[in-house]
Every structure is written in structure tokens, then in C-alpha cells.
Chain A
Amino acid sequence: MTYSCLGHSPPKKDVAEKAVGRARFGADFSFPELLIGKILHSPQAHARILRIDTSRAEKLPGVKAVITHEDTPHVRIGRWVKDRPILAWGKVRYIGEPVAAVAAMDADTAEEALELIRVDYEPLPAVFSIEEAMASGAPLVHDDISSYQTDSPLHFEGNILNRGRIVKGEVGRAWAECDFIHEDSYRTQVVHQGFIQPHEATAVVDASGKVTVWSSTKAPFLVRDALVSGLGLPMSRIRVIAAAVGGDFGGKGTAQIEPMAILLAQKSGKPVRLALTREEEFTSTYMREATISQLKIGAKRDGTLVAVEGRIIYDTGAYCDLIGPMEHAADLFHGPYRIPHVDITALRVYTNNTPRGHFRAPVAPQAEFPIESHLDMLARKMGLDPVELRLKNALEEGDHLADGATVLNPGIKETLLRTKEYLHRERKGRLPNRGWGVASCHWGGVRVGPSGTPLDKFSLGSAAIVKVNEDGSVVLITGVTEQGCGPISILSQIVAEVLGVPYESVSVICSDTDATPYEGSTGGSQTTYRVGNTVRLAAEDARSQLQEIASERMEVPVSELEVGQGKIYPRGALERGLSIASLASAALMSRGGPILGTGRHLRRQRLEALVQAAQGKRLIDAPQHATHAVEVEVDPETGQVRILRYFACHDVGFAISPQNIEGQIEGGIATGLGYALSEEVVLEKGQTLNPNFTDYRLPTTMDMPQLDIQLVEIPSRYGPYGAKGIGEPPTIPVAPAIANAIYDAVGVRLRELPMTSERVFLALQAARRGTTP
């Protein structure tokens, strides 16, 4: 199949404004009398709030509003489990929790006002690690989890917020069938999304009381949900507009500062800009969870995996913003492999640490670092090549995941074969302190259950509008947010393809709760897959309206009309065609009126076939698979790891915009490198010790190796043109690939992230002494 617009990489719609510095981010909006907001954070990890006295702050000249919990309804908000107050009441649960906020004429005055607010606390015993939180008699971070609203049932107990277990076959008896068994434990660290733009919002209240907020969020409709439930505002009085988003990576999908900005604007009667500092980013926003895990895997002599048993525990901090049941994490814990006997438990535990939420492939990097490290150790124990071991057990069409879902169109095998070829070509004889490592990943996919209801909340409704102007140009209206990954450009390519018009003639109105249709969130590596279909339907709807007019005018049945090059024409006779422009103009005078295509509810229209095909079973379409290979050099004197070469092969189903996909993979690898080697938010008794980019080290240009990226295209069943998602998977295999390469280079196994020079050095020392570090 050849396409006119798909498979090319036209310049993205949003980048010209970004290149000239005119794109407006959340703090780039100016208004007369604009006030600056600042937040007062808790210095206590766990304490009862006895009294808050704001009187001195209110009297400071230039201060226009001070808010505390007394200005909010005592309602909890949150994306999945509603556990978080907008401003703390009763008690605080972590160092950094917002307690009060002020709006003043300028930032200096606002900061001075914060110092004048007096809060009396009565400290409470606190828990700072998974072990402390799960100890018997541990102090409770949340006293009354049973009262919290949530979208799916919680299995809570003590500080355990939720647990999930997946069981398949009979693990207990399966060990006897195994010739090799390997058992190990792992630890991963807290990391921040590291977007360069902190959270920013500007809120304005008009004379009628209607609030408009320009925010750094990528999910304006989810923010609106939180404002409705948290502030009690009706939707008619809230308009959330996603401004340009300076990086998201999962961290900007929930209401964090917007409710405070709005309360300050309401109370002062003036526009308010509220932007977090970098330190506030590291101490008061949702970050990726630390985990501890144990894993045991058994295999037959020929490499067939037989059984997996494991447990992974996520420290969710004082508040949890993650979606979904823990079965999801348990499922990822055994990777893209066919294993008949499975018993995996995943737990999420509250502590008095900073709150935890989504970060690029939420829960997956922590779950797949263990499995991919583990397979490497198992392969070595068995004398097998790690790629061959994976190939032997890689998921194939029709295989079942541990939860019983049937896998459609997996690409794991193809990525492994490409990696094998690459290594065969590039991996030359051994050099001292140099080694290669390989790791794969399994992510996402769209699940459909027996009743046809999607199992992941992410995949709920979606709608789009396609307007055709009288000159044949097109406007796409969608709730999707352009957070830098290119969604609005990819969706525009689809519109151009369906209508046969130039990509340049498509413009986009997006991410505005008043102006665009509802869209849950631009995330989950599902925008192209899910919204791409919705947009395709909307464009097809517009096209059929144009075709009807063309059919009448040319007296040719619709079934014999073709679309392309800006025209609708009888099959094979482009020269007889009528231009889209003339048809759209004619539409103004036609019975149907102006051309307005709509597409909605992808589920009903596209996935019904999938549900029927499932015949009562659970199916997973478009799983996202990849394999990475990396060559490292380890300095035996310092432990420093240098990345020499990096290969990544991803199955993308169908590459609608190859350059964009490469960009996602390159950026994902960079983020993975930081996770693997340098990044860690260090907390000591709940206090964040390195809340800045000096001590929290993001990869720079100097850390990037040469990248070799290959795409494979195993089409998905129901994604637009066979496309699958790509945003999240590239980060997942990086850390285990590097851990495996370090072992290959110097024979030491790192089971804890990040693999800093110090950790590698200590492991080398321990190996020389014959002890474990």
C-alpha cells in the first residue's frame, strides 16, 4: 500500500513557533495586574496541623490573597484513588506538601508573605521505607483508606494501598520440572520526569465568575475533572487550556497547581500566575516510585522457561497518582515471554516520602529491570546465548499472557532477530573491560474484555471533528495535547491522507475543554493508536459528505469515486475530478450544509470486530515490543561506565512519521541512560537531599553514544493503518541492557539502580575480595 502523506516525515505543526520563541507556555501569558502565586510547603514528614495563622501575611502590603484548606472544600482529589487534599487539612504526610499559598504583586512580596505564615505542627511517627511501612504496628500514613473514592476496587491493609496477584498453572509443582533455577532480588530508585519546564499555570476569572486556566498540563480534561470534584465548580464555569507543554513524560497529566492558581485568582479577583521552582518540582510533584523486588525463574535444559515466581513492591510515597490495578505491574514483571507457570504479586505501599505518579511507562522500568537482568543470569548459568534464550520463549501470536489475555501481532521475535543480526555483524572479539548487553521490553497494547469493555481507563471514549473550508483547507479539532511527541502532526497526516489534501493545508485546534471534544489524556503510548482511529473516522465522515456532493454533480456512484491530489474523481479519471475546494463551497448551498465530519467512540465502530473475534476471551492488540543492545566500557579503577554503542530495534506496527518515531526512541534511550547510570532523587527521612539539576544529573550531550535505530513493522489489527504506540517503550530496556553489558565487561552484577561509578567500583572491589557488596 502506498500513501501520499503517511510514512513521510513532514515538519511538525507546532515547531515553527517554538523555533522563533513565540510558542506560549504556561507562564508566558501576561495580563494587567497579574499577580504571582507562591506555595508554602510542609517542613514536616508526618504531623498534625494544630493551627495556621495567616494574619501577618495578609497584612503585608502587596499581598492580595492567602489561601489555606479553609478556602477549599474538604474533598480529596486524585487521578485514580482520590487521596490528596488540594491544601493539607488535619495533617501533613510528606516534606513538601502544600499547606498554604499566596498571591502578591510580585514574587519577592509573595515569598516574604510565605515567611509570615505561621503553622503549628505536632509531629507524628513516620515511615520512610517499604520495610518500615510494612512492619507490624507501623504508623499509618492514611488512617481511613476505606473512605477514599477510586475507580477500581482497592485491596488495602495497613499502609498497603493495593495489591494484585496473577497466578497461572501450578508454580509450586513446576520447580521439579526445571533443570535450572535462578533467584535474585533487585532495587530501583526514585526519579523525576526531568522535563525542563516546571509546572506552570495562569488563571483568570472573568466578570461572570468563569475561570480560564492556561496550564502546562497535557490532560486538560482530567484537570477539569479534578476542579469539578475538588473545588465544586460546575463545568460551565471552568475552561482549561493546555498551553505549550515543556515536556510531560507522564508528570503533567494530573491537577497539581491549577486548583491553587484558581483559588488565588478567585480570592484576589485578579489574574494569577503560579509556577513551581525546580526545587518544588523535586519535592512536591509526583515522581517514579522506588521498588524492591524478588524474582525466581526456572527453565529446562533446552532453554524453555517453565515457571516464574516473584514479588515487587512500589513505594508510592504519601500520595498515589497512578492508574490501575496492580495486576498490570505483575504482568509486566515477566516480560514478553511465554511462561506456563506464574505466581506474581505486586504491592503499592504508602510512606511519608514525596508523592509518586506517572513517568514514561509507569511501573514498567522497575518491573522489567529485574526480569531482563534475570534472564541474562539464567542464560549464563545455562551456557546459552541471552538472545537465543529470549527467542526461544518470545511471545507469538495467540500466546497467552499470565492473566489469560491472548496476544495479537507481537513483534518481540522480529526485534530479537534483528538484534541477533546486528550483534553478529558488530560484535567483534573481546577487549578487556568491554562488553555487550541485551534487553527486551513488553509494554502496553490495548486490552478488550469479554463484555467488550476496555480494561484500561485510558482507552475510553474519544471524539474528533474535521471541518473542510471553502478553499479545500481543513481544520482538525481534537482534545489531544501537543506535549512534544508530535501527536497533532501525526493526526494531521491521517486527515490529509483520508481527504487527499496536502498536509500543509491541515490546521489543528486542540486541548481546550470548551473548544474541543473530550480526550482523557495524551499518553499511554496510545494517542496514535486510539485517537488516530477516531480522527480517521472523522475525516472519512467528511470525505463521504464530499463524495455525496461529487456523486450528484458528476452522476457517478459514490462507490466509483476516488480521492486524491485535492480532488474527488471517477476511478482512473483524475482530469474529470472536482476539487475539494469546489465541493466544500458547493456544500454551503447543499441540503447538508457545510462539511463537518465527526468521529467518535472508536470502541463501538472499530473494535466491535475485535470483541467479536475474542469470543468471550480477553485480547491484547498492538503490544509494543523492542530489543536493545549496548556496548559498554568499564573503567576498573573508577567504576565509570562509558556507553560506546547503542542499538535499538522497535516494532512500531506502521511508521506514520518515521522521523518523529526516531525522535521518541532517541529521547527514550537518553531518559533510560539517566535512569540506569546517574539519576536518583535521594531522600533521607523524607527530606529530599538533591532537589536541583546540579546534584540530580540528567544526561547531557556528552553522555550520548552513537545510536543505531531500526524499526520493524508488524501491523496491529486495529490501529490506524496498522500503527502501534512508541512513546514509552524506548526507556524500558536501557537499564537492564547496560547491567547485562557491565556483567559481560567486568563480571560484576548490579542489582540496584542507578549503576553509578561508586556502585560499580564497590561491586568490583567486592568481587576482587570474593564478597558481595
Chain B
Amino acid sequence: MKLDIDLTVNGQDYRLQVEGHRTLLDILRDYLGLMGAKRGCEHGNCGACTVLVDGQPVNSCLILAGDVQGKTVTTVEGLAQGGQLHPLQRAFIEHGAIQCGYCTPGMLLSAQALLAENPRPTPEEVKVALAGNLCRCTGYTKIIQAVLSVTGRSQP
């Protein structure tokens, strides 16, 4: 059965007809062509598909189409504004926090959600906020450093 869905993604309004069992990740990748959110496990374990729904980080592979009716979604493609990288994106680049880059979109959005609520988190709070985003390349060290650098705090 197809549902009519209205949603806003990265500031753009969409009206879509989507089969009810489709996930938000399917909508982003297959309907809207936004490939920034990644498929890593489709079980909500790896966090590679993390996006913000009304500002909250969610695993988009676990959100059904019907649940995003009327919602506002931010993906990694929506972080940079006016051709300027988001401070977190700059920090990830400068601190060597990106290796293969597959976890990066999800990491950025989890970090962004944290900083929106808590602009000066402790290292421990950063770790907790990113605990649902797996990374196999970096050992997390430089990712945590990058997030802290944006807050003006020093290394953990």
C-alpha cells in the first residue's frame, strides 16, 4: 500500500508516494537520490544511516515511511550552508577524523545533535553521544578530538 508523505529534507519540501514498508533510508537514497546516509547493517547497530529528524539523531534504517509524515529531516548533504562547510565538517578534515568516510555522515549528525543540546560537552559526553556510530578505521580518537575542538575544549 502506498502512502502520501509530506516531509522537508534539508530545507526542501517534498510530497512523495511511498510504500508503507519503506524506511526513511530508502526514501533518502532511492526516492530523493541523497546518497550521504549509508547502509551499513539495516538493523540500527552501526549508525552509518544516522540523520536528524526534527533535530534528533535517528537510525534512518529503522524509521518507517509513515513515521516521517510532516517531519523535518537533515542529512549530511544539508550540513554545509551557503557553500561553507559546517564547523564540524572542517574539524573532521583538519583533525584527520576521516579515513574511509563511510561512518562520517552519521558521526557528523550525531555530533551535531549533541552540540545543539549541549554546546560544551565533556569528552565523556561526546563518547556517549557517538557510542551508536561504529567506525572501524580511526579508533574514534581523532573523531572525538574533532568534536571537542569545535566546542573550544581540548583533547580528551
Contact = CB atoms under 8 A, between A and B. Distances in A.
Is B a genuine binding partner of A?
A: yes
Contacts of B101: 14-15, 17-19, 23, 244, 246, 484
Q: What bracket does the count of chain A residues touching chain B fall in?
A: 35 or more
A694 interface: yes
A694 B46 CA distance: 9
Interface in B79-116: 79-80, 85, 89, 92-94, 96, 98-105, 108
Nearest to A194: B136
A14 B98 CA distance: 9
B3 interface: no
Contacts of B139: 663, 666-671, 699, 704, 707
B46 to A, nearest CB: 6
A663 B138 contact: yes
B75 interface: yes
B127 A247 contact: no
A265 interface: no
Interface stretch (A93-101, A195-203, A294-302): A195-203
B45 A692 contact: yes
Contact of B98 (A15, A198, A277, A704): A15
B141 A28 contact: no
Contact of A20 (B43, B85, B126, B136): B85
A11 interface: yes
Interface in A1-52: 9, 11-12, 14-25, 27-28, 30
Interface string A196-214: 1110000000000000000
A620 interface: no
Nearest to A730: B139
A12 B137 CA distance: 15
Contacts of A659: 96, 142
B96 A662 contact: yes
A76 interface: no
B127 A702 contact: yes
A706 interface: yes
A207 B39 CA distance: 31
A197 B93 contact: no
B135 A16 contact: no
A264 interface: no
Contact of A278 (B43, B77, B131): B43
B76 interface: yes
A62 to B, nearest CB: 14
B100 A483 contact: yes
Contacts of A669: 139
A213 B36 CA distance: 21
A700 interface: yes
A667 B103 CA distance: 14
Interface in B109-156: 126-128, 130-144, 156
Given A21-B35, A247-B136, A484-B100, A666 B142 contact: yes
A277 B96 contact: no
Nearest to A704: B140
A584 to B, nearest CB: 29
B36 A19 contact: no
Interface in B29-76: 33-43, 45-46, 48, 75-76
Interface in A164-207: 193-198
Contact of B39 (A27, A694, A700, A702): A27
Contact of B131 (A24, A670, A701): A701
A193 to B, nearest CB: 8
A231 interface: no
Considering residues A195, A249, A669, which has the most beta carbons from chain B within 10 angstroms of its beta carbon? A195
A21 B76 contact: yes
Contact of A663 (B99, B130, B132): B99
A668 B137 CA distance: 8
Interface string A235-260: 00000000011111100000000000
A702 B140 CA distance: 9
Contacts of A698: 134, 136
B109 to A, nearest CB: 10
A659 B99 CA distance: 11
A693 B46 contact: yes
A626 to B, nearest CB: 15
A666 B41 CA distance: 24
A275 interface: yes
B102 A700 contact: no
Contacts of B132: 700
A278 B96 CA distance: 27
Interface in A387-420: none
Contacts of A15: 92-93, 98, 101
Nearest to B101: A18
A659 to B, nearest CB: 4
B22 to A, nearest CB: 10
Contacts of A195: 100, 102, 136
Contacts of B36: 20-22
Interface in A309-366: none
B43 A692 contact: yes
A733 to B, nearest CB: 15
Nearest to A671: B136
Considering residues B93, B101, B130, which has the most beta carbons from chain A within 10 angstroms of its beta carbon? B101
A196 B43 contact: no
A660 interface: yes
Nearest to B77: A21
Contact of B43 (A25, A668, A694): A694
Given A196-B46, A666-B139, A701-B144, A16 B93 contact: yes
Contacts of B35: 21-22, 24-25, 28
Nearest to B34: A21
B61 to A, nearest CB: 11
Contacts of B131: 700-702
A196 B45 contact: no
A158 interface: no
A485 interface: yes
Contacts of A662: 96, 142
Contacts of B138: 663, 666-667, 670
Contact of A694 (B45, B128, B137): B45
A63 to B, nearest CB: 18
Contacts of A30: 33
A271 interface: no
A486 interface: yes
Interface string A46-65: 00000000000000000000
Nearest to B33: A30
A751 to B, nearest CB: 26
A19 B104 contact: yes
Given A15-B93, A669-B139, A246 B85 contact: no
Contacts of B96: 9, 12, 659-660, 662-663
B97 to A, nearest CB: 8
Nearest to A245: B100
A197 B137 CA distance: 11
Interface of A: 9, 11-12, 14-25, 27-28, 30, 193-198, 244-249, 275, 277-278, 483-486, 659-660, 662-663, 666-671, 692-694, 698-702, 704, 706-707
Interface of B: 33-43, 45-46, 48, 75-77, 79-80, 85, 89, 92-94, 96, 98-105, 108, 126-128, 130-144, 156
| Smallest CB-CB A-B distances: 8 pairs | A21-B36, A18-B101, A484-B100, A246-B102, A21-B76, A670-B139, A666-B139, A693-B45
Given A18-B100, A247-B136, 20 more contacts: A16-B85, A16-B93, A18-B104, A20-B36, A20-B89, A196-B136, A197-B48, A245-B100, A246-B100, A247-B100, A484-B99, A663-B137, A667-B99, A667-B136, A667-B138, A669-B139, A670-B139, A704-B140, A704-B144, A706-B156
21 contacts: A11-B94, A16-B85, A17-B101, A20-B77, A20-B85, A20-B89, A21-B35, A21-B76, A22-B35, A22-B36, A22-B77, A247-B102, A247-B136, A249-B136, A278-B42, A660-B96, A663-B142, A667-B137, A693-B43, A693-B134, A694-B43
